[in-house]
Structure 1
Amino acid sequence: MKKYIKWGIVIIVGAGLTTLGIHTFTPRENEDLAAVKDVAPTQKNRSLNINAQIIRPHLLTDELFVSGKLMPDEEVDLSFEASGKIVDINFTEGTFVKKGQLLAKVNDSQLQAQLKRLEAQMPLAEDRVFRQNALLQRDAVSKEAYEQVKTELATLHADIENVKANIAMTELRAPFDGVIGLRQVSVGAYASPSTVIAKLTKITPLKVEFGIPERYARQVKKGTNLDFMITGRLETFRAQVYATESRIDPNTLTLTVRALYPNTQGELIPGRYADIQLKREEIKDAIAIPSEAIVPEMGKNKVFVYRSGKAEPVEVALGIRTEAEVQILKGLAAGDTIITSGTLQLRKGMSVVIDQLN
Structure 2
Amino acid sequence: MKRRIVVSLVAFLAVGLCAALVWFNFFRDKLIADIFANMPRPAQTVAASDVKTVTWRPGIAAIGTARAENGVELAVEISGVVKDIRFSPNQRVEKGSVLVQLDDAVERADLIDAEAALELGKSNLARTSALRTRGFDTQAQFDQVVAQVATARSKLERYKAVIDQKALKAPFSGTIGIARINPGQYVQPGTVVATLQDLDSMKVDFTVPEQVIDKVKIGQPVRFGASDADLGRTGKIIGIDPRIDPQTRLVSVQALLDDNRDRAIVPGQFLRVRIDLPPEPNVVTVPQTAVVTSLYGDYVYLVEDAAGGKPGLTVKQVFVKVGRRDGGLSEVVSGLTPGERIVVSGQNKLQAGAPVKIDNAIDVTTLPVRSPTTR
TM-score range, shorter chain: 0.7 to 0.9
User: Is contact 2:61-2:275 (8 Å) kept?
Assistant: no
CA distance in 2, matches of 1:229, 1:217: 24
Residue equivalent to 1:330: 334
TM-score when scaled to structure 2? 0.71
CA distance in 2, matches of 1:259, 1:195: 31
Cα gap change, 1:340/1:191 in structure 2, threshold over 3 Å: closer, same or farther? closer
User: Is contact 2:322-2:332 (8 Å) kept?
Assistant: yes
User: Is contact 1:86-1:186 (8 Å) kept?
Assistant: yes
Q: For each residue in 1:125-179, what CA deviation from the matched residue of structure 2 results, as whole angstroms up to 9, or x when unmatched?
A: 3455556667777887665554443333322222211111111121111122222
Cα gap change, 1:248/1:43 in structure 2, threshold over 3 Å: closer, same or farther? farther
Q: Counterpart of 2:195 in 1: which secondary structure?
A: strand
* 1:162 partnered with 2:166: no
CA distance in 2, matches of 1:347, 1:227: 44
CA distance in 1, matches of 2:182, 2:22: 112
* 1:101 partnered with 2:105: no
State the Cα distance separating 1:58 from its structure 2 match: 1.7
Q: Counterpart of 1:153 in 2: which secondary structure?
A: helix
Where in structure 2 are the equivalents of 1:1-358 lying within 5 Å? 19=15, 23=19, 27=23, 30-31=27-28, 33-43=30-40, 50-62=46-58, 67-129=63-125, 144-193=140-189, 195-210=191-206, 222=218, 223-229=220-226, 236-243=232-239, 246-248=243-245, 250=247, 257-261=253-257, 262-274=259-271, 276-281=272-277, 282-296=279-293, 299-309=296-306, 311-322=315-326, 324-343=328-347, 345-347=350-352, 353-356=357-360
CA RMSD of aligned residues (A): 4.2
Cα gap change, 1:235/1:335 in structure 2, threshold over 3 Å: closer, same or farther? closer
Residue equivalent to 1:4: none
Cα gap change, 1:47/1:198 in structure 2, threshold over 3 Å: closer, same or farther? closer
User: Is contact 1:220-1:280 (8 Å) kept?
Assistant: no
Cα gap change, 1:355/1:199 in structure 2, threshold over 3 Å: closer, same or farther? closer
Cα gap change, 1:127/1:328 in structure 2, threshold over 3 Å: closer, same or farther? same
Q: Which runs of 5+ in 1 are unaligned?
A: 1-11
Cα gap change, 1:43/1:121 in structure 2, threshold over 3 Å: closer, same or farther? same
User: Is contact 1:294-1:302 (8 Å) kept?
Assistant: yes
Residues paired across the two proteins, number: 340
Q: Counterpart of 1:104 in 2: which secondary structure?
A: strand
Cα gap change, 1:56/1:108 in structure 2, threshold over 3 Å: closer, same or farther? same
CA distance in 1, matches of 2:82, 2:18: 121
Q: Counterpart of 2:148 in 1: which secondary structure?
A: helix
Q: For each residue in 1:9-51, what CA deviation from the matched residue of structure 2 results, as whole angstroms up to 9, or x when unmatched?
A: xxx9xx89x959983896457255324314423437x765543
Q: Counterpart of 1:120 in 2: which secondary structure?
A: helix
User: Is contact 1:249-1:255 (8 Å) kept?
Assistant: no
Q: Counterpart of 2:78 in 1: which secondary structure?
A: coil
User: Is contact 1:57-1:286 (8 Å) kept?
Assistant: yes
CA distance in 1, matches of 2:264, 2:294: 52
| Further displaced range: 57-66 or 198-207 | 57-66
Query: What's the % identity of the aligned pairs?
Result: 24
Q: Which runs of 5+ in 2 are unaligned?
A: 1-7, 307-313, 364-375
Q: Counterpart of 1:193 in 2: which secondary structure?
A: coil
CA distance in 2, matches of 1:49, 1:113: 93
CA distance in 2, matches of 1:192, 1:25: 105
Q: Counterpart of 2:116 in 1: which secondary structure?
A: helix
CA distance in 2, matches of 1:178, 1:249: 37
Q: Counterpart of 1:267 in 2: which secondary structure?
A: coil
Amino acid at match of 2:67: M
State the Cα distance separating 1:289 from its structure 2 match: 0.4
Q: For each residue in 1:228-287, what CA deviation from the matched residue of structure 2 results, as whole angstroms up to 9, or x when unmatched?
A: 127xxx88434444445644373x66555544333212234334444x142454433321
Cα gap change, 1:315/1:23 in structure 2, threshold over 3 Å: closer, same or farther? closer
Q: Counterpart of 1:197 in 2: which secondary structure?
A: strand
Q: Counterpart of 1:264 in 2: which secondary structure?
A: coil
Cα gap change, 1:311/1:191 in structure 2, threshold over 3 Å: closer, same or farther? closer
Instruction: Point out the structure with max Rg over C-alpha.
Output: 1
TM-score when scaled to structure 1? 0.73
Cα gap change, 1:138/1:332 in structure 2, threshold over 3 Å: closer, same or farther? farther
User: Is contact 2:221-2:234 (8 Å) kept?
Assistant: no
